[in-house]
Amino acid sequence: MSSSLIFTFIFTLCLLSSCFSSSASLHNATDENVTLRPQHEIQKLKLIREHLQKINKPTVKTIQSPDGDTIDCVPSHHQPAFDHPMLQGQRPMDPPEMPKGYSQENESHEDFQLWSLTGESCPEGTIPIRRTTEQDMLRASSVRRFGRKIRRVRRDSSSNGHEHAVGYVSGSQYYGAKASINVWTPRVSSQYDFSLSQIWVIAGSFADDLNTIEAGWQVSPELYGDTSPRFFTYWTSDAYQATGCYNLLCSGFIQTNNRIAIGAAISPVSSYKGGQFDISLLIWKDPKHGHWWLHFGSGTLVGYWPVSLFTHLMEHGNMVQFGGEIVNTKPGGSHTSTQMGSGHFAGEGFGKASYFRNLEMVDWDNTLIPTANLRVLADHPNCYDIRGGVNRVWGNYFYYGGPGKNSKCP
């Protein structure tokens, strides 16, 4: 794929996947709040409470996390996924066959979230779900699209504020991807900015039928109300228009694990010149039933995206991306100081720059293979950059990230 086509892809993905963050949406939301009359406020709260009743399911146990989250233990067959018309009446599938070539890593890190450090856990037959609050929904720019990426239709600009530093493969058929992702707490300079690091499995065109599966960690003050890095998932089957959402905020993703809360804060995190922590994620297509499964760490299945959610991903992906993304709202007319990764450039290396390591793909035969022909691209390299490499310990890897606003990124 040519360099110009990749830039077109990145730009188009930006256009399609803008998320809670443009200065225009902030301005419009502010204007709306100023002009709201009391009856509109009452109607908005009514809509919020109806939505909360829909997504916050009856619980058999509640756990209070040290960071203020409430974790509800919900019977697995009552989780939000089964509200989906195509999934009603179903129950979670049995675990699939792991890809050939998969090897257990030495450390599990199953207790990698703050809430689980309390020593509490959800009973067998339930799943932990981070409870959504009125405050969560009031922060969102749109009640109707809460928990979803907002599709931008504005096409008169060379950028809508989304900036990337990614490694990618394309031009073949992809049945999954695996990587270990270094976790940090990047500074996010505005409630309407975010910073994330993730894997994308992509199929379809970039008009109206884009299919994506996404997983990684993100800092999003608007979505979560704080600046902690949080484990997240996302999906769409129509270019972020009407389908898909983050985590379990709509019907779709089916969780099978009772120890991981999607959307909950990650602990520990990496520190500059200090300890490094990463999470290992594997997304792959079960060859027997066709569902796309998510695996965490060593031996932990999180759940799956049912194949019936998708069109192009019913078969396979045609591109995989790994890397970072931020939103630049240009506060005061200059580039945001929102950080990507560790907030340091790739050239600083281990312990300072953020990394992805051991990048692998799943082929047509359900076999994990080293990533071949990995290309790297930073669309604003003076703000956030990326450098790839290969060695015997980390296989395919790259360092990436940056501080945002600086003397070369005004």
- Which amino acids are annotated catalytic? 214, 325
Token pair of 339 as six digits:
């950080």
Token pair of 248 as six digits:
């379990």
Contact assessment for residue 20 and residue 194, using Cβ atoms and an 8 Å cutoff: yes
| Cα dist from 264 to 71, 168, 317, 393, whole Å | 9, 27, 28, 30
Peptide bond into 268 cis (omega under 30): yes
Token pair of 164 as six digits:
């990337």
Task: Write a three-state SS string for 238-263.
Answer: CCCCCCCCECCCCCCCEECCCCCCCC
Give 194's Cβ-side CA count (13 Å radius): 25
Give the pairing type, strands 375-378 and 211-219.
unpaired
Give the pairing type, strands 70-75 and 292-296.
unpaired
Number of helices followed by number of strands (H, E) in the chain: 5, 18
Which long-range contacts (C-beta less than 8 Å, at least 24 apart) are formed by 391-395? 394/357, 394/358, 395/357, 395/358, 395/359, 395/360, 395/370, 395/371
279 three-state secondary structure? strand
391 three-state secondary structure? strand
Taken as a whole, the chain contains a residue count of 410
Q: Cα–Cα distance between 327 and 311 in angstroms, integer?
A: 29
Q: Cα–Cα distance between 376 and 344 in angstroms, integer?
A: 17
Q: Specify the DSSP element, H or E, that contains 397.
A: strand 395-401
